[in-house]
Amino acid sequence: MSFRRPPRDEHTMKVGFVGRGGSPGVSRQVTVDVPAGDLTPWDLDTKFKTVGGRTDRLDAVAKVTGRAKYAEDMRPAGMLYGVLVRATIPDGRLEGLDLDAVRGMPGVRAAIPLKDLGNRVRWVGDPVAAIAADTLDQAYDALARVKAEYTEGDAPIDFRDHENAPALRDGVVDEPWPSQDAAKIEQALADCERTAEGTWICEVQTHSSLEPHGLVAHFQEDDSLEVWASTQAVFGVQSGLARAMGLQPAKVRVHAEFVGGGFGSKFGPDAEGVAAARLSKETGRPVRVLLSRFEEHTCAGNRPSAIMRIRAGVDADGKITAWDYQSWGGPGYAGRGGGTRGVPQWTHAAVTRNSQSDLATATDAGRSMRAPGWPQGNFATEGMLEALASEAGMDSLAFRLLNDPDPLRQMEWRIGAERFGWADRVNPTPGKPREGDAPRILRGAGLAAAFWGQMGRPGNGATCRIHQDGTVEARSGAQDIGTGMKTLMAMLTAEELGIEVAAVKVTMGDSNDPVGPGSGGSTTTPSLAPTVRHAAGLAARQLCERVADALGVAPEKVTYRDGGIDADGKRLSFREACRHVGPNPIEATGQRQRNYEGYAEHICGCQFAEVEVDTHTGVVRVTKMLAVQDCGLVLNEKLAESQVIGAMIQGLSYALHEQRVMDREVGRMLNGDFLHYKVAGPADMPELEAIMQPVANGMNNVGAAGLGEAPAVAAPAAIANAVANALGVPVRHLPITPDKVLAALAKRR
Amino acid sequence: MNAFELSLPDTLADAARKAGPNSAFKAAGIDLIDRLKERIDDPETVVDLLRLRDELGGIQATANGAVRLGALTTLQELADATALDAPGFGALREACGEAATPQVRARATLGGNLLQKNRCWYYRSNAFSCAHDGSGDRCLAWHGENKFHALFGTVDCVRVHPSNAAPALVALGAEVEIRGADADSSRRIPIRALYPQSPAARAPEHVLADEEILVAVHLPASAAAGRSAYRESREKLSFDWATTAAAAHLVVEGGKIARASVCLGAVAPNPWPLDDVAERITGQTPSRELFADAARRAFRRAQPLRHNAYKVEVGQAILVDALAAAAGLED
Ligand SMILES: Cc1cc2nc3c(=O)[nH]c(=O)nc-3n(C[C@H](O)[C@H](O)[C@H](O)COP(=O)(O)OP(=O)(O)OC[C@H]3O[C@@H](n4cnc5c(N)ncnc54)[C@H](O)[C@@H]3O)c2cc1C
């Protein structure tokens, strides 16, 4: 531990990464201004004791044994069950609502309207009223008796039916390219040696979080509100409920100790959370509103559908010189947020044009979902790279190496290709069986780049407490949504203090603790990690002061080193030092500085996939996937791998299976459960491997980046490319189901 | 779900007595409880059969080679049964072993599997007015979303029968033993007759009367001969239903097919026997070409809907696979 003492200090450090597998590393000296009070940033030369190891997730046993209590598990005494009455028509206005019949029903304690008469109904599921009853079945009985009347509009259900939707012929956009800003791109395309053009389509994917949205709310007599929520943003729920209920945020206490998945869909109280709070206020009882699985699929957001088309070209060397990208998103009733994009680095040397529009429909609004817009955009982008590689007569990997400007990913491509066995797995004759395979089986391999550009931000706190018995607490009000943030907090604290991870007790998900970030955009780790380390450093400094006091030694003669204290020639172990803490524990709240100029503002990564296609049934099985992924400093290798593998699994599911199916007449989802909505399961899993590539990015005292999104960007694209390599013809429409595979094969014939 | 009375009879006679127009039998409940939760059905009484293991459980091989399968036998027990070791029974073991997931197979009963309701997503949601459940007057899937629906044998409803076990048992020529309100009302019918002759929208999915209990399935001794196989295709391996399935039973003698029986699953409102295919290949030398030709002919009569034409191709492939496996042809 070492503080920069002067008010600001110029600190020179080494950032970059160590070369691997014959590829060169990058090592750069950077000099940054470290503000007073911050810790010296970790860099390429730092040796770690705990950080970077494979510590098991601290709450793993609690989770698999059911001891971990989620919002879903909370049953405060006297709790009522709340349900939302939701619109049964997709588009129109609410003209009548009769809740009187409901109020007298057995067990019903409250029924409140949520939508005013005359107001717009935007989708099948738009909240209209809320009911609280003693049991869930009583609440549903009541729900069935509510009479609502509507006048019906005729907004489209499918974004392809929108009046501004592009004309599609055989799945290909059939209309002229935009005339806006056309001169430059047309010229660039004309100058290309070879060009390609294509259309890609993605269907709607739902978040499918295992724990439903919602919360248990208890409105108390003193006008305060306590809630147990399933959320990615403890403080988002706090401020959202405070606003909705007209309370000061401090009057709203939010608990989210465990969270059963969110993937971008759980940032506020939402209609169900506000309804629970209002029903609790009305009844004076705790009220639980947690969505049903159907509501999860239809009222909690989704990854929007998209139509994307690209035309692009390469010069005589195979370098990309022109890239024209147009996309239409289907973000539901919100009418925006359907933008898509692929990894931007490919077009660094190209003339580009980019146009995007959204097509509103009378369906649930899209919400951010694990790299919002990127898996769609990258599916199209990587599909175009394949088309260009084939135009240029190059192997897919060689084409990537030629066009990728990033030295880190250059190395990752090579490490990955070697480990995956790219040369042996790629089908040299796409559309033809590999030697030794049954004639009906086609195998192929594909790859795709990963990318993300977020390194966290200041504005949050974390507490470190040291008790006289030697226990250490690390606390943040932010939530651990399953990424393992609690474990990382323990590891960072242990590293900074030079103690065992087991000595650190971590508490997260209580709004009484310091404000932490919402878990979105891969920002929790990079925002919180430096804060947590800083808190531990401050606590260690206080420990030195207390030891100095107790021993009567001059403070400057007491230093913290290697998990213990040097006090004027005397060595105290951590536990010995803690005895001088006294009954009043040390408590330090850490902060985080603005990012320094470190190695890079983005992270890279790449993935490889191998598939096997049964050409008689059209069924695609992924047999192997491998990722090479960086994320700045790898705090816990095992958790990082788990995060990457999770993204690959979710990407596989998106690429091959998941799709919201709507009845276009009634506007209602047909597969709004887990029997008909297809999520890949255990038997569908390929061999999965994640290789973490550490990078010293030096952007703050820790230098870790988040890992939620980057690997999610690559997976579907890699699988789609593998399918194309197997079949000898691409399927440019996700999910790649048997019907589409058979249609593609028929077209090839 | 709606409140109901749970009846836990100790004897078969008692169970049959408890049943009536507003009751439902429950075996493992995997299908039934789902329908109650979705409020598609709301019986006043649920009669639980699970305690009747003595009368409804067990697998017994008789001296002459026939086998009796109690209605409460689980799919996993069937998949693992040594009494079904003969290659002739292969289709049944494979059908049960491939169904659903390990958890479901460990609980799901044979009786429940044969009598489970279809998976049409319009029928399975009580928000749609469906002709089959009586809440509507036309089949919404017919002109709606029908990717997983029927190719054959539809009247005015395009549901498909989802059971894995049923086509295998049809191919094996099984019979089902049914008991009515009185012990002397027991009857045995060919499994084909368990399903309605005209599977119209309003027709129930099986012919059992409200108080009738499926007691057992009987495999004839002749089923043990030769070899049978079951093949299916589905979009994912975990937690999914077949999009098309085929069971074939062949007895090959002197290089020729002496006896054949074939049935498709998941393509029609009932298990879909292919007697003409069986007839065509009988007396022939088994080969992939023969089977491919037979499959092509069988699917010529398919009437694809807007979104399920791919099932024609998949179904042929699966049928050829099942026939080839039953003939012992290598891939
Ligand atoms: C995820 C999942 C995947 C699945 N995949 C498949 C699959 O691939 N293939 C497949 O075949 N099935 C599949 N199923 C369905 C499953 O196999 C059936 O739901 C199960 O076999 C039903 O058996 P049960 O004992 O639970 O029946 P229950 O739900 O108890 O009963 C089903 C129906 O039969 C009636 N019944 C049951 N036993 C009797 C009896 N002895 N006499 C009279 N009436 C009776 C009941 O009244 C009820 O109407 C799947 C199910 C799930 C959940």
Pair A121, A87: CB distance under 8 Å? yes
Q: Which helix (H) or strand (E) holds A294?
A: helix A293-299
Residues A318 and A400 reside in one and the same domain: yes
Q: What token pair was written down for A261?
A: 């998945």
Compute the distance between CA of residue A169 and CA of residue A233 in angstroms, rounded to an integer.
Answer: 43
Global pTM reads: 0.97
- The residue range of the domain holding A720 is 302-454+600-748
From chain B, the residues in CB contact with A438 under 8 A are: 331
* Structure letter (DSSP) for residue A346: G
Residues A120 and A229 reside in one and the same domain: yes
Q: Which of B127, B144, B320 sits opposite A88 (nearest CB)?
A: B127
β-strands A252-255, A225-230: how paired? parallel
Q: Which helix (H) or strand (E) holds A533?
A: helix A524-551
Compute the distance between CA of residue A358 and CA of residue A326 in angstroms, rounded to an integer.
Answer: 11
Atom 50 in ligand 1: which residue has the minimum CA distance? B100
Per DSSP, helices labelled H in A421-484 are 422-425
Q: What token pair was written down for B227?
A: 């070899």
Distance of residue B185 Cα from the nearest chain A Cα, in angstroms:
38
- Read off φ and ψ for residue A356, nearest 5 degrees: -145, 135
Please write the tens of the pLDDT for every residue from A298-347: 999 999 999 999 999 999 999 999 999 999 999 999 999 999 999 999 99
Mean pLDDT, residues A464-472 taken together: 97
Please write the tens of the pLDDT for every residue from A710-734: 999 999 999 999 999 999 999 999 9
Between vectors from CA A507 to CA A501 and to CA A510, what angle results, nearest 5°? Answer: 165
Q: Which residue has the tokens 């993937």?
A: A263
Please write the tens of the pLDDT for every residue from B246-288: 999 999 999 999 999 999 999 999 999 999 999 999 999 999 9
Tell me which of B37, B39, B239, B329 to substitute to probe the interface with A (most A C-beta atoms closer than 10 Å): B239
Using the predicted structure, report yes or no on whether residue A2 has a pLDDT greater than 80. no
Q: What token pair was written down for A496?
A: 């900074």
Please indicate, yes or no, if residue A12 is contained in any of the structural domains: no
**Cα separations (Å) of A349 from A185, A186, A327, A413, A481?**
13, 16, 21, 20, 39
Q: Which of A619, A666, A674 sits opposite B233 (nearest CB)?
A: A619
Interface of A with B (CB under 8 A): 88, 137, 140-141, 144, 438, 614, 616-619, 621, 656-657, 661-666, 668, 670-676, 678-684, 737-739, 742-743
Please indicate, yes or no, if residue A184 is contained in any of the structural domains: no
Note the Cα A330 to chain centre separation in Å: 20
Please indicate, yes or no, if residue A46 is contained in any of the structural domains: no
Of A534, A565, A558, A539, give the one whose Cα is nearest residue A467.
A539
Q: Tell me if residue A413 falls in helix, strand or coil.
A: helix
Of A261, A263, A280, A262, give the one whose Cα is nearest residue A272.
A280
Mean pLDDT, residues B178-205 taken together: 94
Q: Which residue has the tokens 């009882």?
A: A285
Q: Which of B140, B145, B313 sits opposite A661 (nearest CB)?
A: B145
Taking residue A19's Cβ as centre, other Cβ atoms within 10 Å add up to 13
Pair B94, B168: CB distance under 8 Å? yes
Mean pLDDT, residues A185-193 taken together: 98
Mean pLDDT, residues B176-184 taken together: 91
Q: Which helix (H) or strand (E) holds A670?
A: none
Between vectors from CA B199 to CA B193 and to CA B204, what angle results, nearest 5°? Answer: 80
From chain A, the residues in CB contact with B320 under 8 A are: 616
Q: Which residue, A591, A612, A644, sits at the end of a domain?
A: A591
Of A441, A446, A430, give the one whose Cα is nearest residue A618.
A441
> Ligand 1 within 6 A of B113 CB?
yes
Q: Which helix (H) or strand (E) holds A385?
A: helix A374-391
Atom 9 in ligand 1: which residue has the minimum CA distance? B99
Of B320, B310, B306, give the one whose Cα is nearest residue B274.
B320
Q: What token pair was written down for A94?
A: 């609410």
Of A302, A308, A266, A69, give the one whose Cα is nearest residue A171.
A308
Please write the tens of the pLDDT for every residue from B132-150: 999 999 999 999 999 999 9
At A435 the pLDDT is 87
Between the CA atoms of A358, A363, A369 and A375, what dihedral angle is there, to the nearest 10 degrees? Answer: -50
Pair A160, A278: CB distance under 8 Å? no
Please indicate, yes or no, if residue A429 is contained in any of the structural domains: yes
Pair A144, A157: CB distance under 8 Å? no
CB contact under 8 A, B235 and A743: no
Q: Which residue, A570, A591, A612, sits at the end of a domain?
A: A591
Compute the distance between CA of residue A89 and CA of residue A333 in angstroms, rounded to an integer.
Answer: 13
Q: What token pair was written down for A530?
A: 């430096």
What CATH number does the domain containing A277 carry? 3.30.365.10
At A3 the pLDDT is 57
Pair A736, A656: CB distance under 8 Å? yes
Q: Which residue has the tokens 């021993």?
A: A551
- Read off φ and ψ for residue A40, nearest 5 degrees: -60, 125
**Cα separations (Å) of A553 from A105, A543, A578?**
75, 13, 16
Please write the tens of the pLDDT for every residue from A127-152: 999 999 999 999 999 999 999 999 99
Compute the distance between CA of residue A489 and CA of residue A511 in angstroms, rounded to an integer.
Answer: 17
> Ligand 1 within 6 A of B169 CB?
no
Contacts of B73 (CB under 8 A, 6+ apart): B57, B58, B59, B81, B109, B110
Tell me which of A203, A295, A661, A663 to substitute to probe the interface with B (most B C-beta atoms closer than 10 Å): A663
Pair A527, A457: CB distance under 8 Å? yes
- For residue B321, the chain A residue with the least C-alpha distance is A616
Percentage, residues of chain B above pLDDT 70: 100
Between vectors from CA A677 to CA A674 and to CA A679, what angle results, nearest 5°? Answer: 80
Q: Which helix (H) or strand (E) holds A301?
A: none
Residues A407 and A538 reside in one and the same domain: no
Residues A426 and A554 reside in one and the same domain: no
Residues A552 and A567 reside in one and the same domain: yes
Residues A525 and A612 reside in one and the same domain: no
Pair B217, B113: CB distance under 8 Å? no
Residues A81 and A220 reside in one and the same domain: yes
Please indicate, yes or no, if residue A66 is contained in any of the structural domains: no
Residue A473: strand pairing partners: A465, A505
Residues A651 and A665 reside in one and the same domain: yes
pLDDT band at residue B184 using 50, 70 and 90 as cut-offs = confident
Q: What token pair was written down for A271?
A: 């209609």
Q: Which of B121, B243, B307 sits opposite A671 (nearest CB)?
A: B121
Residues A744 and A674 reside in one and the same domain: yes
Query: What is the rounded radius of gyration, in angstroms, for the C-alpha atoms of chain A?
Result: 28
Residues A623 and A587 reside in one and the same domain: no
Please indicate, yes or no, if residue A195 is contained in any of the structural domains: no
Distance of residue B179 Cα from the nearest chain A Cα, in angstroms:
32
Is the peptide bond between A735 and the residue preceding it cis, with omega within 30 degrees of 0? yes
Mean pLDDT, residues A350-359 taken together: 98
Compute the distance between CA of residue B263 and CA of residue A603 in angstroms, rounded to an integer.
Answer: 55
Please write the tens of the pLDDT for every residue from A261-300: 999 999 999 999 999 999 999 999 999 999 999 999 999 9
Pair A342, A378: CB distance under 8 Å? yes
β-strands A504-508, A80-86: how paired? unpaired
At A454 the pLDDT is 77
How many Cα atoms occupy the beta-carbon half-sphere of A152 within 13 Å? Answer: 10
pLDDT band at residue A6 using 50, 70 and 90 as cut-offs = low
Please indicate, yes or no, if residue A617 is contained in any of the structural domains: yes
β-strands B227-233, B244-253: how paired? antiparallel
- B124-148 per-residue burial string, b: 16 or more CB within 10 A, e: under 16: bbbbbebbbbeeeeebbbbebbbbb
Strand extents, DSSP E, A638-700 = 687-693
Q: Which residue, A591, A611, A645, sits at the end of a domain?
A: A591
> Ligand 1 within 6 A of B320 CB?
no
Residues A717 and A655 reside in one and the same domain: yes
From chain A, the residues in CB contact with B145 under 8 A are: 661-663, 670
State how many domains chain A has.
3
Mean pLDDT, residues A25-46 taken together: 93
* Test site for ligand 1: of B23, B30, B215, most ligand atoms within 8 A of the Cβ: B30
Contacts of B9 (CB under 8 A, 6+ apart): B15, B17, B18, B47, B48, B49, B51, B52
Q: Is B239 on the interface with A (CB under 8 A)?
A: yes
Query: What is the rounded radius of gyration, in angstroms, for the C-alpha atoms of chain B?
Result: 19
Please indicate, yes or no, if residue A501 is contained in any of the structural domains: yes
Residues A127 and A266 reside in one and the same domain: yes
Compute, in angstroms, the gap from residue B49 CA to the centroid of ligand 1: 13
- A133-158 per-residue burial string, b: 16 or more CB within 10 A, e: under 16: bbebebbbbbbeebebebeeeebbbb
Q: How many residues comprise chain B?
A: 331
Mean pLDDT, residues A729-745 taken together: 98
